[in-house]
Chain A
Amino acid sequence: MHHVPSTYDGITAGLAVLVLLSEFAMLRAPLLRSQVRLYAFQSLVVASLAVFVAASKHIDELYVLAALSLLLKVLLVPGLIMRLLRDADTDLAGSSVLGVASAILIAIVVAAFGFFAVGSLHVSSSSLPTSALSIACAIVLVAFVLIILRKDVVSQAIGFFSLENGVSIASLVVASGLPLIVDVAFLFDLLVAVVVFGVIMRVHHLRNDTLSTHDFDRLRG
């Protein structure tokens, strides 16, 4: 049962922690632009995790995946959102409903819950580092906190994209053997979702001249 962590475990868990920390940084980032930059950084870490897994497990397909996610998540998606922000030229300040301190505290509680909940599954495997899986779950939950606390379409969209980053980490760690075609299809779907998010954000902005979701309270009951 006493399984000594290997270098592989350490590095994957370390990179996963870096992604979790950038998720926390997003929570406290006041400007939408800095949030987009943090997302780009986070995606870069995920891409390097893919490269690391590819190199240490000799799965060449993952290099392709890393290159694609670099192109898509580090360059294209942040670029598209930055353009939307330039065109919108409004509401550059963030819109958290809570102060930074309370938001971070909530996120810590939620992240700890996710971490220990997955840990309590007691999945131990000699070839797969399970701590990274727990961290991935924490990232997903903190992304939810980000989406719930922010009241503008850009932060909410970024929250969703970073949630996808958390799921990517889980898939790299526990499902690195997933066929490449599936990974590429996942990425392609993300791209389509990004485009649709962009279209709806733009429609919202053209119609209401704001990126805030403040007046999204007409439909209820």
Chain B
Amino acid sequence: MSALVVVLVCLPFLMAIVACVVPIDVTRHLTIVVGVTTFALSIGLIPGVTHSSVTAGGLIRVDSLSVVFLLAVTFLYATTAIFVRGYLPLDPSAAGRVYGRRFYAGLNLFCWSLVIVPLVNGLALLWIAIEITTVVSALLVAIDDTEGASEAAWKYILIASLGLGIALFATIMMYYAGTSVLGSSYNLSYPTLLASAAHFHPDVVRFAFVLAVLGYGTKMGLFPVHTWLPDAHSEAPTPVSALLSGALLAVSFYAILRFFQIAVRTLGPTFPRDVFLIFGVATLLLATLYLLSQRDMKRMLAYSSVEHMGILAIGMSFSAPIAVVGVLLQVMAHAAAKGTAFFGVGSVVRKFGSKDMSKIRGGVGVLPWSGPMLILSVLALSAMPPFGIFRSEFLIVYGGLREPRDTVAAILVVLVTLAFFGLSWFTTQTMLSPSVPPVEGSPEAQVVKGEVSNWIVVSMAVGLLALLLLGVHPPSQLSHLLDRAAYELRAAR
């Protein structure tokens, strides 16, 4: 089992190096192979972590909570690799080759950093891994070298770095909280912290937890520190947007959960849950309002991600274990749904040459496969059955209704419905309303019927199948994994 983990840690990194050396045509296919392999390896880890944890050296530790996030990340790695194969045109010029090489090296490095976040053992290494995701993804946001990209990249690197500065402060405060029990010199590994968390100084842990929610929440997209997110998601190349939205936000949430795990042991469940509740409701409310007034397709999906992060935070504020299971399932289902939706939007943007939803009409007629699949993925994002997010949000709401504060669950349902209205209104408008006859010579006249690439269709189909699987009948292994991970997040003192 440990060997499996070591391979998982090394493989994407090696791929990033290989991408700098070998011809781009080899890289494109090799990345798919590596992506699919890492996903397969993550599945292989499931049996090993449903009863205990797997460690490799002192630095790596995998438990069921890690594997939940690992599955989300590696699934998106694999599908994004397939998508990029169709999305990125092969430009034979020297500049095009350099761009392709940089893009693939960056993409693999970004995926590597996302993969190691759930694998590292300890709060310090966790911070370092998340910092690596920031710097690599900031370069990927800037890679297109447009005016919008440089603005978005600057806002992203500055705001995210400040957030991580706060998160570092949180990490140090957590270390400080432990010194009273563990002595002045110890390492911040999870087993050490969890074993003695009950005796930490509660005020310091409370401070550290709020700092961590604020700091890592910046990268997760919680209100009011979400401001970089729509810009970066809309200006980055589409494959990067998919990874930012489905995987980066998820691993930032993972970091908060690790602090949560310690905080509930020291403080009991009430305070950490209240923090989640406040941030969650504010985030969901903001995202819903913005979803009703979007014009840019990628920005719309970005706000939908903010919405889902709000739902995750609210789900964590419920005490029923079933709500926590729902939250963890939502992480996976959201990764698949958001990836698929971004792939579809990538196809539309390639076809119509615009992200502006007022300029795109009749998408389904032009894109016979990816058009309908985009609509399906947006319906999946709005928690329509039979897709995975329906199941996860159902679990969260079900858990919430058993709460004494069941108004929160009601608010959740109302806001999610409003968000569904915004999302589906704009998507159906662009995809289903008949296209106006184009003026001769206008850019719309250039749009010819037909898919951009079959690779894009495949990547979307894989995403939808996964969503269907999660929604209709999750494999029993996976259910065990989710139960176990929810158990690890329990509020035992």
Contacts and interface: CB of A to CB of B under 8 A. Distances in A.
B126 to A, nearest CB: 11
B179 A189 contact: no
Contacts of B157: 193, 196-197, 200
Given A140-B165, A204-B150, A207-B145, A171 B172 contact: yes
B425 interface: no
Interface residues of A, number: 49
B145 A167 contact: no
Interface stretch (B131-139, B311-319, B346-354): B131-139
Contacts of A174: 172-173, 175-176, 179
A200 B138 contact: yes
Interface in A177-197: 177-179, 182, 185-186, 189, 192-193, 195-197
A170 B169 contact: yes
Contacts of B183: 177
Nearest to A118: B207
B330 interface: no
Interface stretch (A40-48, A86-94, A212-220): A212-220
Interface in B113-154: 124-125, 127-128, 131-132, 134-135, 138-139, 142, 145, 147-148, 150-154
A140 B185 CA distance: 25
Nearest to B166: A140
A75 interface: no
B154 A204 contact: yes
Interface string B194-206: 0000000101100
How extensive is the interface on chain B, given as a class?
Answer: 35 or more
A21 interface: no
A179 B185 contact: yes
Interface in A138-156: 140, 144, 147, 153, 156
Given A176-B184, A204-B154, A199 B139 contact: yes
B290 to A, nearest CB: 7
A52 interface: no
A200 B179 CA distance: 39
Contacts, number: 138
Nearest to A177: B185
Interface string A101-132: 00000000000000000100111010110000
A219 B168 contact: no
A199 to B, nearest CB: 7
Contact of A189 (B131, B148, B166, B234): B131
B175 A178 contact: yes
Given A189-B128, A196-B157, A219 B162 contact: no
A123 B145 contact: no
Nearest to A195: B135
Contacts of A215: 151
Interface of A: 118, 121-123, 125, 127-128, 133, 137, 140, 144, 147, 153, 156-157, 160, 163-164, 167, 170-171, 174-179, 182, 185-186, 189, 192-193, 195-197, 199-201, 203-204, 207-208, 213, 215-216, 218-219, 221
Smallest CB-CB A-B distances: 9 pairs: A177-B185, A177-B184, A174-B176, A219-B231, A182-B124, A175-B175, A196-B135, A189-B131, A171-B172
Given A160-B162, A186-B128, A193-B157, 16 more contacts: A125-B180, A174-B173, A177-B184, A178-B124, A178-B175, A178-B188, A182-B124, A182-B188, A189-B131, A192-B135, A193-B131, A196-B139, A200-B142, A204-B150, A215-B151, A219-B235
Interface of B: 124-125, 127-128, 131-132, 134-135, 138-139, 142, 145, 147-148, 150-155, 157-158, 161-162, 165-166, 168-169, 172-173, 175-176, 179-180, 183-188, 201, 203-204, 207, 230-231, 234-235, 290, 293-294, 299
23 contacts: A122-B203, A137-B169, A144-B162, A160-B162, A164-B168, A170-B169, A170-B173, A171-B168, A174-B173, A174-B176, A175-B179, A179-B185, A182-B125, A182-B128, A182-B187, A186-B127, A186-B128, A193-B157, A197-B157, A207-B145, A216-B154, A219-B148, A219-B230
